[in-house]
Amino acid sequence: MNELELKYGCNPNQKPSRIYMQDGSELPIKVLNGKPGYINFLDAFNGWQLVKELKKATGLPAAASFKHVSPAGAAVGLPLSEVEKKIYWVDDLDMEFTPLANAYARARGADRMSSFGDFISLSDVCDAATARIIKREVSDGVIAPGYEPEALEILKAKKKGNYNVIEIDESYVPAPTEVKQVYGISFEQGRNELNIDQDFFNNIVTDNKELPEQARIDLAIAMITLKYTQSNSVCYVKGGQAIGIGAGQQSRIHCTRLAGSKADNWFLRQSPKVLDLQFVDGIGRADRDNSIDLYIGEDYMDVLAEGAWQKIFKVKPEVFTREEKRAWLDQMTDVSLGSDAFFPFGDNIERAHKSGVKYVAQPGGSVRDDNVIETCNKYGMVMCFTGIRLFHH
């Protein structure tokens, strides 16, 4: 099959719609269940490239949670801590967590609000443990190089039998030149085949030049994630998972703030005040996520004043004060930060410092590089210049 007709394009009024191979060759995918749409395939193919490269760079199974052609989360299959299991809502699952299941739980869980209704990409054959996690989440579909029989049956039962399951040929190699059209005009460019590994970060320009192995891995995860994130973009990573992604902003400081606020929320979810919240019976995971986001936000005092807390919590929670949140966030350390283009001002570093960033990777090349380096030196950060921009559109 070299062509697959789709229901419609980005929007219902955009017809006809299809994916096809211009050279007449076979499509490198099989739809095993459901009927994926135009945006589903955009997410699937971008996400597949991301997880394939993450596995190549780290040697670990990888997963990504995509929304609107940018990753909401990406991670490799390191073990989950008990706290992570709790904040990702998988602590009640009585099963053995495989490396791939760990990867998806982390990719889905770091920013659960953004991941709601995601399209999933898996670097390895989907096993039953991973499928069980996917089954309970609101998601549009999954792409993987294969599926264990039990996993496929679990996924086929999702969404009343309409869940999108795509199998991709992992040996497929795309043409070296990419072509797309905008307003009837064809654009052509060479594929971004840049290989990102731990040696990508050898040009350290700060006074502090101690870049441990885990930081190199985290920086590789950050930069590979950014390679498939709509620009401008920055990515905060800690312990093998993206904890904050800022995508598609016109200003880099807005990317840094957006991603930093997501990273902060990820860490605030681990605070005792959040872990001890008692929800009313029957409240779903998505409603719990929304309630936690409200609780750690600035508007929670309004909820207390209106008495709306009773619809969410069994017991009225204590206010999580700004001072308490800051004190907790001050314990977040050794975070890595990647940027798809240079930081034009030191204000990005100042904001990153508030979210525990110690390691930074960026192309360099700004007329104010000295100011950015000086700001890193002020906080004892390690920063490397990669010399390579990673815009993605």
Render pLDDT for 63-81 as a digit per residue (tens, 0 to 9).
Answer: 999 999 999 999 999 999 9
Distance of alpha carbon 150 from alpha carbon 95, whole angstroms: 14
Distance of alpha carbon 108 from alpha carbon 118, whole angstroms: 8
Q: Look up 393 and say whether it is catalytic.
A: yes
Residue 38 included in any domain: yes
Per-residue model confidence as pLDDT tens digits over 304-324: 666 677 888 888 888 899 999
Alpha carbon distance, N-terminus to C-terminus of the chain: 28
Provide the mean pLDDT of the chain.
Answer: 94
Residue 135: its pLDDT value, please? Answer: 96
Residues 262 and 346 reside in one and the same domain: yes
State both tokens at 305. 């004043």
- What percent of the chain is helix, strand and coil (3-state, nearest 5)? 40, 20, 40
Q: Which of 46, 232, 265, 348 is catalytic?
A: 232
Residue 234 pLDDT class (50, 70, 90 cuts): very high
Residues 237 and 302 reside in one and the same domain: no
Per-residue model confidence as pLDDT tens digits over 325-376: 999 999 999 999 999 999 999 999 999 999 999 999 999 999 999 999 999 9
Q: Which domain holds residue 351?
A: 196-268+331-385
Residue 303: its pLDDT value, please? Answer: 65
Instruction: Give every CB contact of residue 290 below 8 A, 6+ residues apart in sequence.
Output: 113
Residue 45 included in any domain: yes
**Is the backbone of residue 42 left (phi > 0), alpha (psi -120 to 50) or beta?**
alpha
Strand extents, DSSP E, the chain: 3-6, 17-20, 29-33, 62-67, 70-76, 118-122, 139-144, 164-168, 177-182, 185-190, 233-238, 241-247, 335-339, 357-362, 382-385
Q: Look up 164 and say whether it is catalytic.
A: no
Q: Which of 68, 156, 159, 254 is catalytic?
A: 68
203 three-state secondary structure: coil
Residues 294 and 157 reside in one and the same domain: no
Residues 35 and 100 reside in one and the same domain: yes
Per-residue model confidence as pLDDT tens digits over 173-221: 999 999 999 999 999 999 999 999 878 999 999 999 999 999 999 999 9
State both tokens at 85. 């299991």
Residues 88 and 215 reside in one and the same domain: no
CATH of the domain at 299: 1.10.287
36 three-state secondary structure: coil
Q: Look up 353 and say whether it is catalytic.
A: no
Residues 79 and 136 reside in one and the same domain: yes
Average pLDDT over residues 94-115: 96
Residue 198: its pLDDT value, please? Answer: 79
Q: How many domains does the chain contain in total?
A: 3
Distance of alpha carbon 307 from alpha carbon 379, whole angstroms: 43
Q: Are strands 139-144 and 164-168 parallel, antiparallel or unpaired?
A: parallel
Residues 299 and 341 reside in one and the same domain: no
State both tokens at 29. 């995918």
Q: 33-55 in b/e burial notation, b at 16+ Cβ within 10 A?
A: bbebbbbbbbbbbbbbbbbbbbb
- For the chain, what is the radius of gyration of the CA atoms? 21
2 pLDDT above the threshold of 90: no
State both tokens at 209. 């030049």
Distance of alpha carbon 358 from alpha carbon 352, whole angstroms: 9
CATH of the domain at 203: 3.40.140.20
Q: Look up 254 and say whether it is catalytic.
A: no
Residue 109 included in any domain: yes
Residues 45 and 135 reside in one and the same domain: yes
Residues 376 and 289 reside in one and the same domain: no
